Amino acid sequence: MLEPNERKTIEHYIRAAQAGDLDAMNVVGNIYYNGELVARNYRLAFKWYKAAAEAGNIDAMRSLAEMYHSGEGTRKSANKAVEWFMRAADKDDGAALNALGYMYHQGDGVERDLLKAVELYKRAAALGNSESMVNLAYICLKGEGAQPNEQLAFQWYERAAHFNHPEALRNLALMCYNGNGTTQDVRKAYWLMTRAAKLHYDFAMVELAEMYFRGERPNLRRAEIWYRQALKCNNEEIQAAALEALKEMGIEKAPPLE
């Protein structure tokens, strides 16, 4: 049951949205999409995002595109998703540029075009979108459209790491640990992997534990701590790996998987 102040907050935003306030329309869309203070309702979220997007709200354009892409609250349409990502991208929205780049990268709703994807990723990166930096690093690492370039991949991961992107931190750690794309630096690898693990990135938690258990700077106490943290994540494979490692360490008090 809603508290009086919570009910007043919702009523305030709904009145403002009905009066044509673009930001309020988007907020009401968020309230219904996330189930904040009310029961989640994708159809109503879609309705308010669409109204706000058509009136020019950039955040709503992106949210509307995501709903078309997932089929939440409306019929799934990759073409419509591309259309609305394009509208937001035309207004230099970094997240929309990255999402549109990914659709060109995958050929989702448009013909696959790696050059266009890279162009969009770079525009998003210039606006500070860290996810696009990780996507550019992946392209460099895998050698899509060119020879693999570990040094350039490392540079893109470094840029994303400045924004505390957990996947970038973890991949930088692995590259430093193994000397891929950079001079091997084990100490820096531990530091980077710890940063990623502290952001609750499940792969980083178990990999940091592995580094302390089997790596060049063993510390069984820290290994146990991070394996136990990995047990709390929502990834069953990570949980299983952590539990098996704890048993290998001879720790019988590791809780069983549910």
Write down the domain spans for the chain.
Answer: 200-258
Confidence of residue 1 (pLDDT cuts 50, 70, 90): very low
Position 258 pLDDT exceeds 60: no
Position 7 pLDDT exceeds 80: no
- pLDDT, one tens digit per residue, over 87-137 is 999 999 999 999 999 999 999 999 999 999 999 999 999 999 999 999 999
Instruction: List C-alpha distances in Å: 37 to 5, 17, 24, 78, 87.
Output: 11, 17, 15, 30, 30
pLDDT at 256: 52
Three-class DSSP category at 141? helix
Range 241-250 average pLDDT: 94
Q: What is the reported pTM?
A: 0.90
Which residues, at least 6 apart from 27, have a Cβ–Cβ distance to it below 8 Å? Answer: 13, 17
- Cβ proximity of 242 and 228 under 8 Å: yes
Enumerate the H helices of 19-77 as residue ranges: 22-34, 42-54, 58-70
Torsion of CA 195, 200, 203, 208, to 10 degrees: 40
Q: What sign does the dihedral 191-196-199-202 (CA atoms) show?
A: negative
Q: Which percentage of the chain shows pLDDT scores above 70?
A: 96
- Cβ proximity of 134 and 97 under 8 Å: no
Range 58-75 average pLDDT: 98
Range 42-67 average pLDDT: 97
pLDDT at 6: 75
Range 170-190 average pLDDT: 97
Instruction: List C-alpha distances in Å: 27 to 86, 92, 183.
Output: 22, 21, 47
Residue found under tokens 């009086």: 4
Average pLDDT over the chain reads 94
- Cβ proximity of 94 and 132 under 8 Å: yes
Of the listed ranges 10-14, 79-83, 165-169, the one predicted with least confidence: 10-14
pLDDT at 37: 80
Enumerate the H helices of 107-252 as residue ranges: 114-126, 130-142, 150-161, 166-178, 186-198, 202-214, 220-231, 236-248
Q: How many residues does the chain have?
A: 258
pLDDT at 10: 86
Q: Which percentage of the chain shows pLDDT scores above 90?
A: 90
Q: What sign does the dihedral 64-70-74-80 (CA atoms) show?
A: positive
Cα separation, 163 vs 131, whole angstroms: 10
pLDDT at 216: 87
Confidence of residue 3 (pLDDT cuts 50, 70, 90): low
